[in-house]
Amino acid sequence: MSIHSIVYNIIFIPIAIIIKKIWQLFNPKLKERERNWKSSMEDMKPLESKLNAEESFVIWFHSASMGEFEQAKPVIEELKRTRENVIAVCSFFSPSGYNHQRHYPFADAVVYLPFDTKSNTKYFLRQVKPDIAVFVRYEIWRNFLEELKASKVPALLINATFPRSILLNFFKSFLRSTLNLFKEIYTINYKQTNKFNSLGLTTKVETLADTRFDRIIANIENAKTNPKFRYELFDESEFVIVAGSTWEPDEKLIFSAIDRLNSDGKELRLILVPHEPTENNIMRIRKLAKNSVLLSEIEKLPFPATPNELKDFVKGKIIIVDSVGKLLGLYRYAKVAYIGGAFGDGVHSVTEPAGYGIPLAAGSNISSSPDAVDLALLGCLHTVRDSNELYLWLKELMENPNEADQLGHIAKNYVYSRQGASKVISSRILELWNKS
Would you give the DSSP letter of residue 368?
A: T
Question: Would you write out the chain's pLDDT as a tens digit for each of its 436 residues?
Answer: 688 888 889 888 889 889 888 877 787 777 777 777 878 888 788 888 777 777 889 999 999 888 899 999 999 999 999 998 999 999 998 888 888 898 999 999 999 999 889 999 999 999 999 999 999 998 889 999 999 999 999 999 999 998 876 566 658 888 999 999 999 999 999 999 999 999 999 999 999 999 999 999 998 998 888 777 666 778 888 899 999 999 999 999 999 999 999 999 998 999 999 999 999 999 999 998 889 999 998 888 776 567 777 778 888 899 999 998 889 889 999 999 999 999 999 999 999 999 999 999 999 999 989 999 999 999 999 999 999 999 999 999 999 999 999 999 999 999 999 999 999 999 999 999 886 6
Task: Say what the pLDDT of residue 303 is.
Answer: 61
Distance CA 294, CA 335 (A): 21
Task: Say what the pLDDT of residue 305 is.
Answer: 63
Contact 244, 339 (CB under 8 A): yes
Give the list of residues 6+ apart from residue 293 with CB closer than 8 angstroms, or none: 313, 314, 317, 318, 319, 320
Task: Say what the pLDDT of residue 168 is.
Answer: 64
Count Cα neighbours of 226 within 13 Å in the Cβ-side half-sphere.
9
Task: Say what the pLDDT of residue 231 is.
Answer: 64
Task: Say what the pLDDT of residue 75 is.
Answer: 97
Domains of the chain, each with CATH number or no CATH? 23-209+420-434 (3.40.50.11720), 227-417 (3.40.50.2000)
Sheet holding 184-187, edge to edge: 109-112, 86-92, 57-63, 132-136, 155-160, 184-187, 204-207
Sign (positive or negative) of CA dihedral 109, 115, 120, 122: positive
Sign (positive or negative) of CA dihedral 340, 345, 346, 348: negative
Task: Say what the pLDDT of residue 4 is.
Answer: 84
What predicted TM-score, i.e. pTM, was given to this entire model?
0.83
Distance CA 401, CA 411 (A): 15
SS3 state at 231? coil
Task: Say what the pLDDT of residue 421 is.
Answer: 96
Distance CA 336, CA 254 (A): 13
Distance CA 352, CA 354 (A): 5
Give the list of residues 6+ apart from residue 76 with CB closer than 8 angstroms, or none: 59, 61, 88, 90, 106, 107
Kind and range of the H or E run holding 362: strand 360-362
Q: Tell which residue, 298, 289, 394, has the closest CA to residue 337.
A: 394
Bridge partners of 253, per DSSP, are: none
Distance CA 230, CA 232 (A): 7
Count Cα neighbours of 177 within 13 Å in the Cβ-side half-sphere.
14
Are β-strands 292-294 and 336-339 bridged in parallel, bridged antiparallel, or unpaired? unpaired
Distance CA 347, CA 382 (A): 12
Hey, which bits of 80-166 come out as E strands?
86-92, 109-112, 132-136, 155-160
Would you give the DSSP letter of residue 59?
A: E
